[in-house]
């Protein structure tokens, strides 16, 4: 099986072209994702992404986290899917005469719905993509929150873990719990690696949750770290950056456009409120291989 290692702002996955490679059966995919994602005994990555045919969009993305669980959506991974299919001639689009600054649109099916991408092409190669991430949701049902434990937390609340945190919960096709820190508190390993898994596994979230610790540095800049369900801490999370930007905007803390600074790079999030969140960020090929 041939594969391509790619990353979006340091959020790295192993990509397999399902149009050309024989994909294992469902029972084997989780095991394969665990084996390949291991950074010592496998290829190494935050998970496995399959690029597949779709009856509803140009392509379908199926993703598995490093622990073998299937993910619904990944904003960084979907940009890399766009880069893969363009750079490998799987879509018929024409760049501008100079092949710089050309934008080409495609659609990709995910478990969180169909997402549209504008690909940024430079020198006949995709370097970045702007993704229509859809509308944020705040309902308890969408978040999968156990209301018998703490009803109403999906729009903000508190939880003991054992420290008390105010959680601002947003679904971007997958659930996120955002913690905004005060100006005098840094984003530490104790918070991310200590409290992150405690919040993620709390009875309040029976389906688990992605946890973001964020600091608003100005009306146009947010700094964050993320502890993802199924992967642990990652260098970047596209849906998490969107959730942080949405929560900050809804609370009146930021402008409509913000740069979200993650450990692996910067993502641009545009959210005016309402129906659509746009995310713009890089897509980078690391290497190709065969297993």
Only one residue has tokens 């750079």, namely 87
Confirm if 197 and 156 have CB atoms less than 8 A apart. no
Q: Which helix (H) or strand (E) holds 82?
A: helix 75-87
User: Does the annotation mark 74 as catalytic?
Assistant: yes
Residue in 74, 80, 169, 242 annotated catalytic: 74
Query: How is residue 243 written in tokens?
Result: 């959730």
Burial of 182 (0-12, 13-18, 19+ CB in 10 A): exposed
Query: How is residue 60 written in tokens?
Result: 């379908």
User: Does the annotation mark 80 as catalytic?
Assistant: no
In a 13 Å sphere around the CA of 215, the CA atoms on its Cβ side amount to: 14
Burial of 97 (0-12, 13-18, 19+ CB in 10 A): exposed
Residue in 80, 169, 237, 242 annotated catalytic: 237
Q: Among all residues, which ones are annotated catalytic?
A: 74, 237
């Amino acid at each position: 099986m041939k594969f391509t290692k790619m990353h979006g702002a340091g959020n790295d996955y192993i990509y397999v072209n399902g149009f050309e490679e024989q994909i294992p059966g469902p029972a084997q995919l989780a095991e394969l994702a665990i084996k390949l994602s291991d950074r010592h005994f496998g290829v190494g990555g935050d998970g496995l992404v399959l690029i597949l045919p779709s009856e509803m969009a140009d392509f379908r993305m199926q993703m598995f986290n490093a622990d073998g669980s299937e993910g619904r959506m990944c904003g960084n991974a979907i940009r890399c899917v766009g880069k893969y299919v363009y750079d490998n001639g799987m879509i018929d689009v024409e760049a501008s005469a100079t092949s710089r600054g050309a934008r080409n649109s495609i659609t990709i099916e995910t478990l969180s719905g169909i997402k549209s991408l504008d690909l940024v092409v430079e020198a006949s190669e995709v370097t970045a993509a702007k993704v229509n991430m859809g509308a944020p949701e705040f309902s308890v049902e969408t978040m999968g929150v156990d209301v018998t434990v703490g009803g109403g937390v999906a729009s903000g609340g508190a939880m003991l873990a054992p420290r008390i945190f105010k959680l601002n919960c947003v679904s971007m096709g997958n659930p996120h719990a955002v913690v905004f820190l005060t100006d005098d508190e840094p984003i530490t390993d104790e918070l991310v690696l200590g409290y992150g898994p405690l919040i993620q596994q709390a009875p309040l979230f029976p389906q688990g949750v992605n946890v973001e610790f964020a600091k608003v540095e100005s009306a146009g800049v947010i700094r964050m770290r993320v502890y993802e369900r199924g992967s642990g801490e990652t260098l970047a999370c596209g849906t998490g950056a969107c959730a942080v930007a949405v929560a900050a905007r809804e609370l009146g803390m930021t402008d409509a456009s913000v740069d979200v600074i993650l450990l692996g790079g910067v993502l641009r999030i545009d959210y005016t409120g309402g129906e659509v969140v746009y995310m713009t960020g890089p897509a980078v090929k690391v290497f190709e291989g065969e297993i």
